[in-house]
Structure 1
Amino acid sequence: MKKVILDLAVTLDGFIEGSNGEIDWCILDDDMNFDGFLASIDTIFYGRASYDAWGNYQPEAGASPAEQQLWQAVHSKNKFVFSSQERQDDKATFISSDIADKVAEIKKQGGKDIWLYGGAGLIKSFLQLGLIDIYRISVHPIALGSGKPLFENLKQRVPLRLIKTNTFKSGVVQLIYEQAT
């Protein structure tokens, strides 16, 4: 069965973006093997705002071949957008109700794993519903002091078990957890 993987960057002080939505602090080193992660998934879950911002993003014409290839790989995945807005889109399936049931159906379809891309509201909903199987949190060597926190207003504790740690040349430390049973 597919797994839902939350893979995202967070600052040392726990923010997923700055006060003005900035993510310019994110580092993507070649030793992070992001291409390997993309090869391990065939589906991406977006919130509506994240999808509108990044779901069809195209790099500038002068972007490096590596960046163009990365976005081509991202856009080759099946896309599901969780939103209260009903919308037709030929590049994504919109889901506006019964989140837990729909996620269970998608997980049973077989194939590769699912990237829970976000945003913050969708991550919060998935946390509250217990729908995240794997947490791949890349802690970046910067403290912002303010911004949008990763874990905000949790209704209950989320017990996790560390399964792997990766350290990269940039100083980013990736912590990979699964739900503790």
Structure 2
Amino acid sequence: MRELVYYIASSLDGLIAGPDGADPTGPDGFWPVTPDYVQHLATTYPETLPAGAREALGVTAEGTHFDTVLEGRKSYEIGLAAGVPDAYPHLRHLVFSRTLAEAPAPAVELVADDPTVRVRELKREDGKDIWLLGGAGLAGALYPEIDRLIVKLSPLTLGDGVPLFAHGTAFDPRLWQLTDHTALESGVLFLTYRRAPASEVRG
């Protein structure tokens, strides 16, 4: 069965964006995007690079991890504001929103229904794993469905901002088993965790 993977960049204090929710890696962003970080993405997770970056870097690799990407309306609208209606045309792209009437890009699938129901359907389909891009609201709604976390941990603190899971996410303590880690010279850590069995949480 396919797995839902929350693959996300985080600061040391567990934040994924500033208080305004804007793209922290954009032209006016504060997130450090170092050459070794970009190279690691291009060689290990090429499918997670947006189309513009893939073209600029000459990346054509299909990727081995994901064939589907999920994002919420706020996350999607960051790309729209930059004039990019589909940043991931090389992936099946689903946007969860109850307010968008139609998708600005024909290949983008709008989902107004319960995210949990849709994700369970996707998991039963054949294919590679499912990338949960964000944002925090969608990650919070799908918290019980996340099978793995891949945290791109940056040597950065924000003090305030958007957390990994939106405030209001149901209190549900979970343990995660570290299954892989990569440390880059720039200080970025790629940490892969698999959800531990429920029995280990209860002790």
Give the shorter-chain TM-score range.
0.7 to 0.9
Which residue pairs with 1:166 in the alignment?
182
Question: After the TM superposition, which residues 59-78 of structure 1 pair with which residues of structure 2 at under 5 Å, given as runs?
Answer: 74-78=88-92
Task: Report the equivalent of 1:32.
Answer: 40
Kindly report which structure 2 residues correspond to 1:48-127, keeping only aligned pairs within 5 A, or say none.
Answer: 48-54=73-79, 74-85=88-99, 87-89=101-103, 90-127=106-143
Structure 1 CA distance for aligned equivalents of residues 184 and 145 of structure 2: 28
Q: Indicate how the Cα distance of structure 1 residues 57 and 111 shifts in structure 2: closer, same or farther if over 3 A, else same.
A: farther
**Alpha-carbon displacement from aligned partner over 1:4-41 (angstroms, at most 9, x marks no partner):** 11111111111101123351314252442345322121
Instruction: Give me the TM-score of the superposition, normalised by structure 2.
Output: 0.73
Q: 1:163 to 1:169 in 2, by over 3 A?
A: same
Query: CA offset at residue 57 of structure 1?
Result: 5.6
Q: CA deviation at 1:121?
A: 0.5
RMSD: 2.2
Counterpart of 1:147 (choices 161, 181, 186) is 161
| 1:9–1:26 Cα contact (<8 Å) kept | no
Greater Cα offset, 22-31 or 37-46: 22-31
SS in 1 for 2:95: strand
Describe the SS at the equivalent of 1:75: coil
Following TM superposition, by how much is the alpha carbon of 1:169 offset from its aligned partner in structure 2, in angstroms?
Answer: 1.7
Relative contact order higher in (CA < 8 Å, ≥ 6 apart): 1
Structure 1 portions without partners, runs of 5+: 60-70
Given residue 27 of structure 1, which amino acid in structure 2 is its aligned partner?
Answer: V
Pick from 10, 33, 42 the counterpart of residue 67 of structure 2.
42
Partner of 2:18: 18
Question: Aligned to 1:122, what secondary structure does the other structure show?
Answer: helix
Structure 2 contact 116–141 (Cα < 8 Å) conserved: no
Q: Which moved more, 1:13-22 or 1:45-54?
A: 13-22
TM-score (norm 1): 0.81
CA distance in 1, matches of 2:42, 2:3: 17
Following the alignment from structure 2 to structure 1, what is the Cα–Cα distance between the partners of residues 100 and 21? 25
In structure 1, what is the Cα distance between the partners aligned to 2:69 and 2:186?
26
In structure 2, stretches of 5+ residues that fail to align are 48-62, 198-203
- Name the SS of the counterpart of 1:33 in structure 2: helix
Residues 118-160 of structure 1: per-residue CA shift (max 9 Å, x gap): 1110011111xx1111100111011111111214444121221
User: Contact 1:55–1:75 (CA<8 Å) still a contact in 2?
Assistant: no
Residue 63 (structure 1) aligns with: none
Structure 2 counterpart SS, 1:104 = helix
Matching residue's letter, 2:146 = I
Alignment partners' CA distance in 2, 1:50 and 1:26: 19
